[in-house]
Each structure stands twice: as structure tokens, then as C-alpha cells.
Amino acid sequence: MTDQYAEPPFPDQPQEMPGTTAAMTPRPDHGEDSYKGSGRLQDKKAVITGGDSGIGRAVAIAYAREGADVMISYLCEHEDARDTARLVEEAGRKAVLFPGDISSAEHCRALVSKAVEEFGRIDILVNNAAHQDTFKSIDEISDEEWEHTFATNIHAMFYITKAAVPHMKPGSAIINTTSIQADSPSEELLAYATTKGAIQNFTGGLAQLLAEKGIRANSVAPGPIWTPLIPATMPSEKVQQFGKQVPMQRPGQPKEVAPAFVLLASDEASYISGANIAVTGGKPII
């Protein structure tokens, strides 16, 4: 059944960065009414960066319904974050909100300290938060923009992972959000796509480095997914036809990405490490 999913064209809907869920038309589907858990993550403790909206919200909902407590790290989207926390709590699990800018190494370390204070340990780390913006030429990308994109998307991943590993036991899982942009970069997303390639490489190296500790590291590579970042960072003509570029000719909904994160976090994936799962609407990553 595919006719349940929204297809382009979409209405013009510009937003200020980083964007909010409430202002989107149509509203993204995070699995609020459809995801059914089966205890696959029972009593696990999860940290999700960018957990307030989009893919992060869908993963938080899925993890809670699978039995996990969740820390939701986010920048400043308090309304979205509170909505996600409510959904986690309605699933009977603990939600911890932690706002702030992960481009700061100090904040990354504080985030992990708070998670350990609240949960006692970290079983699942989802490095999902990202910054992107579009530019028509390299001259438009300022030094500050380039550095901020790297600080948010890849440096933070290193700082958070480094701080979290001492609190992760054998059987724990790290899942990093990369992108189809790592393999098929768009010229207008030069900085973002470059960091996504770095994340893919980081994950492969990390899986080997942590194997002796019994900690798995994998990545998920979404294609065009309907999240607040899209209307907040892309020109109107791109938003209106968003998702048309992949074989399924529509954007994915956040709920369609979450099951990959559930699998990789679960004990069923005990021999999967160093893998990259593509969720791209038929666009191959080879």
C-alpha cells in the first residue's frame, strides 16, 4: 500500500532555520499512530541527538514503544521537543530533554554526563542531529558556515561518542545518521554532503576500533525525508518537488526510517557492525 504517503508537488512553505513540525504542510508522519512495539529494546537507555523532530522524533517514538528510556538532545525547538517527550512518556518510558548546541565540545560532554546521571549507563547512542544549508556557488559559503557545518555534523559525533563509550557495556550500539548525499552529493549542499561522507567513513573506522569492547557501530543513510530541515533550508522550487528525484518519486516519511534504527539498536543485530543501511526510496547506494 503506497497511496498513504504524500507525494509532490507540495505547497510553498518557507521557514526560518531550524524549522518546526507544526508549520509543515503536509505534517510529517513519525509513526505516532502506527508504530507498534514488541519489546525489542526493553529497559535499554538511549541518547538521540536531534530527537525533537524529523527522523530523531520517529526514532524516539519507536524506541520508547520498544521499551527504551530516551534522552532527547536538541538545539532550541522547545515545542517540538516537548511533543516528542510527551509521546515517549505516553509509551510508559522516561524522557529527558537536553537543549543546547552540540557544535560545542563542552556541551557534548555535558550531554553525556546528564544521560549517565539520569540513566546510569548508555546502551544506545544515536548521533542524528545535523545542520545544512543550500548555496548556489562556493563563493557563497562563508568560512563560518563551513566550520559550523563540520562542528555540528561530524565533530560533535566524535565528542559525544568519545564521552559515551566509557559508559557503554558490551552489546551496546552506536548508530550514526549519514545520507544518500555521502554517495551522491548535490552541488548546492557541498558542506553538508562532505560531512555526510565523513560520517560514513567515521562509522566504518569506529566499528573496527570498538569491536573488542563489544560495542557495535553502524550508520543509516536516508534519502529525501520530509522533515522541518527541508522547508527551512531549501529554495521553494526544491521543496515543491521534494522527493521526485528518487525512483519512488516521493519523499520518505520519518516513520519509514525509524525501523532501521530499531534493528541496529536491537540484540538481533548482534553481528552487524560497520554497516550502512540505505533508506532511499529506490535510489541505490553501491
- Residue 128: CB partners within 8 Å, gap ≥ 6? 48, 49, 50, 51, 55, 56, 59, 176, 177
Tell me, what amino acid is at 123?
A: D
Q: 15, 234 in Cβ contact below 8 A? A: no
Give, in degrees to the nearest 5, the angle at Cα 191 between 236 and 17. 45
Q: How far apart are CA 132 and CA 113, in angstroms?
A: 27
> Strand, helix or coil at 90?
helix
- Residue 189: CB partners within 8 Å, gap ≥ 6? 132, 134, 181
Q: How far apart are CA 71 and CA 81, in angstroms?
A: 11
> Strand, helix or coil at 94?
coil
Q: Which of 35, 63, 159, 192 is catalytic?
A: 192
For this structure, is 74 an active site residue? no
Question: In which residue are the cell numbers 543546547 written?
Answer: 100
Q: 130, 102 in Cβ contact below 8 A? A: no
Look up residue 242 and give its DSSP letter.
Answer: T
**Could you count the other beta carbons within 10 Å of the beta carbon of residue 144?**
8
Q: How far apart are CA 46 and CA 116, in angstroms?
A: 10
185: preceding bond cis by omega (within 30 degrees): no
Q: For helices 54-65 and 78-90, what crossing angle results, to 10°?
A: 20
Positions marked catalytic: 192
